[in-house]
Amino acid sequence: MDITGNTVFIPGATSGIGLALALALNERGNKVIIGGRRVALLEQLAVEHPEISTVQIDTADAASIEAAAKEVLAAHPSLNVLIAMAGIMQVEDWHKPEGFLASAERVVTTNVLGPIRLVAAFVEHLQTRPDATIVTVSSGLAFTPLKVTPSYNASKAAIHMLSESLRMQLSDTTVKVLELEPPSVRTALMPGQEDNEHAMPLDEFIAEVMTLVETQPDAREIQVERVKFLRYGEARGDYDQVVAAVNGTDPHGK
């Protein structure tokens, strides 16, 4: 993916990694459109960043995705990059169904069906562009589980495998598939995470991501150094130790 000269749509970019990435891409000469559910917040961002376009979209709602896609493509026919950023993360207790079932359904709808529906809404258009990219967003937890967020872990593992499969299927087109794999980053994804000293500062994460995109334009996965501890535990042979470190347990999961 080239670092500049693109028209980029980022649903789920009204805060956190999505918004920071939108601003960084805008600074590097890309036309950026951000999407989100809350109209008031979109209006506020439009005032603060008039060079960035906004569109209302709820990535948990199939009809909303379809409507937003039509709006985006009508206004921005040069669109060549889709970044499927929206996602939710929730603590669950799987001992009883009331501790996880409703949450799991929300997580899967947003984190898995959302990106699938986004790809469905844009993939035909992207194939008409001479150089296009679909950016998926998985997580270090796709490769090393956090005990308290089973559905989130599973949803991001699904996105990783979806990315691998989609890349192969679209290899006969102009569309590339790039998987962004964040570690824990200081955002509001989970309560208290913005102040978690063990999480990566957001500005440091974005700066490293932009450097990687710029220096590795043909990369299939964007991995900051911090995520490699989670990403390659099995390959290194220290998976049990990585799981223990992430979950604060001994290597046997106790």
Q: Count of CB atoms within 10 A of residue 75's CB?
A: 11
Contact present, 185 and 205 (Cβ < 8 Å): yes
| Burial bucket for residue 227 (CB in 10 Å: 0-12, 13-18, 19+) | buried
* 152 catalytic residue (yes or no): yes
**CA–CA dist 240, 251 (Å, integer):** 5
Q: Count of CB atoms within 10 A of residue 46's CB?
A: 14
Task: Name the helix (H) or strand (E) containing 8.
Answer: strand 7-11
Catalytic one of 60, 152, 155, 221: 152
| Angle CA 228–115–191, to nearest 5 | 60
**CA–CA dist 57, 196 (Å, integer):** 29
> Looking at the annotation, which residues are catalytic?
152
